Chains A and B, each alone.
Chain A
């Protein structure tokens, strides 16, 4: 961070539930005011645990969490002033939507008139003006989701936590809500810590993403960096689609790594996460960065590949090739007239640039 006090700081956080295994191992993260940080990872990777520690529902086994520079390990959840949206919304079923929204204000002893005013504003903000008198059960999933978001924002918290808030929605609604939350974040200047296992969601919404695996943050970076420059094979694999070729490093010159694939093909790749000649490596490259029938001079790697399968996707054709000893090499071939001649069983040249293929850990 750039000198400014981070709103949230996790410092060497460890968490164990059973006293034997660590669910979170040495977690460090700073969240700047106004930032949208997503904790992304497969289930059981420790991301939700970190969120619960921040909210105050789970104590950290070791380390300290700071909110606005103050340690909060001993502050109970109701004194932290953190808004939270839960996975199943946790809207109180026995209260109306308006009562649900008024709850945080009621707790803060906001006068009745002001309370009503703010509830109405919040309802308008999430376009549910006419639904104040309904019970949560009478709303659709998307509407419940909006109420949950509005409820977490109504007391103007410094920080809003969201625990897989869109998990229960269908795909279209999920995408729509992603934009709505993103817009709220921008309009209101919120600081959001968001947990999800959906990488598309993380990429769409976040300023920064912390990728969790096995209790450790594998990489914490902006979405583009995460996608373009994954630090290791796990991140490359977890974020977006990814072709992997395994082999051995034969030479390193500056940023350039020469790799001998297991079936004897020679590749050149960018150096990211390999140390020395002789290391095992996974070379990672995105399906959309591979060209079919490229001009030999425009690519650094050029192989002949056999077309195994063509799957029509409208704007592109997903094509599965066998190349360098791997039969699961996916290429997104644009649906253009030039490419329409591809047939299963064809042998065609494919190639890619050195910058697009990264030599990562094995």
Chain B
């Protein structure tokens, strides 16, 4: 046909597309309905809380919520010397008003805690002044306040208050990265005593790497054995691999305590056989060693299973073919077998590493001070110190690190090559 008319083509093509869409519409709707419960569950239990956490890490209204009028006033202050008498007046009145508030999260104590994060030791200044501020009936407010506590004459207090009055601030990320504002309002390194988070991040990454490596070394031969043994033996071995999965995490961890502690099974045996003296008992728990041992044990199946599932598909003829072509066994293993296990190795490594980096319960139980990981610090801020914003900032940083690693991994190996089983 020389006179092909595109409009006719379109006219015939469109109804076909429409027809197809109509016939598949029901299927698509059904598929969507089937996944709806999960989608809702994920939205409510995963996406929303994570969003909340991300928001919490930059949002804190403990100052603006307690002294709202002062908040607007102090934000206009130029930061030179002390604020004006006018601002002092607003502050005193706001504080007196706040003292009567009973609403959770809007008490003077909440604000005091918030300022205390950045000015350690300043908490009592607020609580004390809060109690006495009601007595100030008239000006000059500045002098009256300083009379209650001379710390109010310190410009640092007001600068900190000004910074904290903004609901959205990077203050918690700054704290999470072991930094602080100095007197000039610049961001500097925190005092050595307070530098804990970055070190802990480093330690967490290092321990997770170490645990992953140990898991690879231990899991590879076991997975290989599993894949080549006859069914009966491999089933037995598989049960032994899976047994930890069927036991409570807590039971397993406490079992390690019983085994590893200084008065535990291993030390007792060593003393009994005279390998070490009674006073030379080895500290194997409540430190990094304990964390490593217990976590390797717990995470090992996550390495073995993906490896096994990949190795199971590698036919023995590949190795035979390589040998028949004159390759020595080790070379054949390196060039032919190992590359084919990469997808399983990648899956196992990623799985174990990401689990390890966020692991909480085991280090909390057997880690002591030395073996605590970043997740334990996050838990501390969420549960004990109640500095949720800092906890959220640390959590977000952990999330970013994991996603960064995931991205690197994807670039190096390709996430589509992963095989979990």
Measured in the bound complex, the distance between the Cα atoms of B342 and A93 in whole Å is 12
Q: Which of A51-100 contact B (CB under 8 A)?
A: 55-57, 76-84, 86-88, 90, 92-94
Q: A94-B340, A103-B335 are contacts. A151–B320 as well, Cβ < 8 Å?
A: no
Contact status of A90 and B326, CB under 8 A, knowing A57-B320, A103-B335, A107-B331: no
A93 to B320, CA, bound (A): 14
**A90's contact among B317, B327, B331, by CB below 8 Å, is which?**
B317
Q: Does B231 contact A (CB under 8 A)?
A: no
14 contacts between A and B (CB under 8 A): A56-B324, A77-B323, A78-B325, A78-B332, A86-B320, A86-B321, A87-B317, A90-B321, A92-B322, A103-B325, A104-B325, A107-B326, A151-B325, A155-B325
Closest chain B residue, CB of each to CB of A77: B323
- Chain A's closest residue to B319 (CB) is A90
Q: Does B315 contact A (CB under 8 A)?
A: yes
User: Nearest chain-A residue to B317 (Cβ)?
Assistant: A90
Q: Is the CB of B339 within 8 A of A94?
A: yes
Report the nearest A residue to B314, measured CB to CB.
Answer: A93
Within the complex, the shortest CB–CB distance from A56 to chain B, in Å, comes to 8
Kindly identify which residue among B327, B332, B340 contacts A93, using a CB–CB cutoff of 8 Å.
Answer: B340
Q: Is A108 an interface residue (CB 8 A)?
A: yes
With A77-B324, A83-B324: A90-B318 Cβ-Cβ less than 8 Å: yes
What's the nearest-Cβ distance from chain A to residue B341, in Å?
10
User: Is the C-beta of B280 less than 8 angstroms from some C-beta in chain A?
Assistant: no
Is the pair B327, A78 in contact by a Cβ cutoff of 8 Å?
Answer: yes
Q: Which of B317, B325, B339, B340 contacts A88 (CB 8 A)?
A: B317
Interface residues of B (CB under 8 A from A): 315, 317-318, 320-329, 331-332, 335-336, 339-340, 342
Apart from A78-B329, A82-B324, A93-B340, what 12 extra A-B contacts exist at CB < 8 Å? Answer: A55-B320, A57-B320, A57-B323, A78-B326, A78-B327, A83-B325, A84-B320, A84-B325, A90-B317, A107-B328, A155-B325, A161-B324
Bound-state CA distance A93–B324 (Å) is: 17
Note all chain A residues with C-beta closer than 8 A to B318: 90, 92
Please, how many residues of chain A have a CB less than 8 angstroms from a CB on the other chain? Answer: 27
Give the docked Cα–Cα distance between A55 and B317 (Å): 12
Which residues of the other chain, A, contact B324 by a CB distance below 8 angstroms?
Answer: 55-56, 77-78, 80, 82-84, 152, 161
Report chain B residues within 8 Å CB of A81.
326
> What's the nearest-Cβ distance from chain B to residue A112, in Å?
16
Residue of A nearest to B338 (CB): A94
A-B pairs, 10 with minimum CB distance: A90-B321, A104-B325, A84-B324, A90-B317, A77-B323, A107-B327, A94-B339, A86-B317, A107-B326, A78-B323
Which residues of chain A in 228-269 are interfacial with respect to chain B, using CB atoms and an 8 Å cutoff?
none
Establish whether residues B326 and A108, one from each chain, have CB atoms under 8 Å apart when the complex forms: yes
Q: Which residues of B contact A103 (CB under 8 A)?
A: 322, 325, 327, 335
Shortest beta-carbon distance from B339 to chain A in Å: 5
User: Within the complex, which residue of B315, B320, B335 is in contact with A77, where a contact is CB–CB below 8 Å?
Assistant: B320
Which B residue's beta carbon lies closest to that of A94? B339
Which of A56, A80, A92, A161 has its CB near the most chain B CB atoms (within 10 A)? A92
- Closest CB of chain A to B330's CB: distance in Å? 11
What are the residues of chain A within 8 A of B327 when measuring CB–CB? Answer: 78, 103-104, 107
Contact status A90-B328, CB under 8 Å: no
- Which of A57, A76, A77, A108 lies at the interface centre, i.e. has the most chain B CB atoms within 10 A of its CB? A77
How far, in whole Å, are A326 and B327 apart by their CA atoms in the complex?
57
CB distance from A322 to the nearest CB of B (A): 49
Distance, CA A36 to CA B322, complexed state (A): 24
Whole-angstrom distance from the CB of A164 to the nearest CB of chain B?
A: 12
Determine which residue in A76, A83, A104 has the highest number of CB atoms from chain B within 10 A of its CB, and name it: A104
Using Cβ atoms and an 8 Å threshold, which residues of chain A touch B325? Answer: 78, 83-84, 103-104, 107, 151-152, 155
From A57, A80, A87, A103, name the one whose CB has the most chain B CB atoms within 10 angstroms.
Answer: A103
Q: Which residues of B contact A161 (CB under 8 A)?
A: 324
Give A91's nearest chain B residue, CB to CB: B321
Given A78-B323, A84-B321: A92 in contact with B336 (beta carbons within 8 A): yes
Closest CB of chain B to A218's CB: distance in Å? 28
Nearest Cβ in chain B — how far from A19, in angstroms? Answer: 16
Contacts of A151 in B (CB 8 A): 325
Q: Which chain B residues border A92 with CB–CB below 8 Å?
A: 318, 321-322, 336, 340
| Least Cβ–Cβ distance between B349 and chain A, in angstroms | 18
A101-118, CB under 8 A of B: which get 1 and which 0? 001100110000000000
* Complex Cα spacing A48 to B326, Å: 21
Chain A residues with Cβ below 8 Å from B340 are 92-94
B261 to chain A, nearest CB (A): 47
Distance between A115 CB and nearest chain B CB, rounded to angstroms = 13
List the B residue with the shortest CB-CB distance to A83: B324
What is the bound-complex CA distance between A83 and B321, given in angstroms? 9
Which residue on chain B has the smallest CB distance to residue A103?
Answer: B325
- In the complex, chain B residues whose CB is within 8 Å of the CB of A76: 323
Q: Are B320 and A88 in contact, CB atoms less than 8 angstroms apart?
A: no
Q: How far is the CB of A292 from chain B (nearest CB, A)?
A: 50
Cross-chain contact of A155 among B315, B326, B336, B342 (Cβ < 8 A) = B326
CB-nearest residue of chain B to A99 = B335
Give chain A residues whose Cβ lies under 8 Å from the Cβ of B321: 84, 86, 90, 92
Give the complex CA separation of A93 and B328 in angstroms.
19
A80, B332: Cα distance in complex, Å: 16
How far is A329 from B285 in the complex, measured between Cα atoms in Å?
84
A94: chain B residues at CB < 8 Å are: 339-340, 342
How far is the CB of A197 from the nearest CB of chain B, in Å?
Answer: 18
A84 to chain B, nearest CB (A): 4
Which of B322, B331, B332: most chain A Cβ within 10 A? Answer: B322
Distance (whole angstroms) from the CB of B393 to the closest CB of chain A: 43
Q: How far, in whole Å, are A161 and B324 apart by their CA atoms in the complex?
A: 10
Residues of B near A90 (CB, < 8 A) are 315, 317-318, 320-321
- CB-defined contacts of B342 to chain A, threshold 8 Å: 94
Q: State the CA gap A82–B326 with chains docked (Å).
A: 8
Q: Which of A78, A88, A104 has the most CB of B within 10 A?
A: A78
> Bound state CA distance, A266 and B153, in angstroms?
134
CA A77 to CA B317, docked complex, whole Å: 13
In the complex, residue of chain A having the shortest beta-carbon distance to the beta carbon of B321: A90
CA distance A55 to B320 in the complex (A): 9
Chain B residues with Cβ below 8 Å from A86 are 317, 320-321
Given contacts A92-B336, A94-B339, contact A78 B320 (CB under 8 A): no
Q: A98 to chain B: closest CB distance in Å?
A: 15
Residues of A within 8 A of B320 (CB): 55, 57, 77, 84, 86, 90
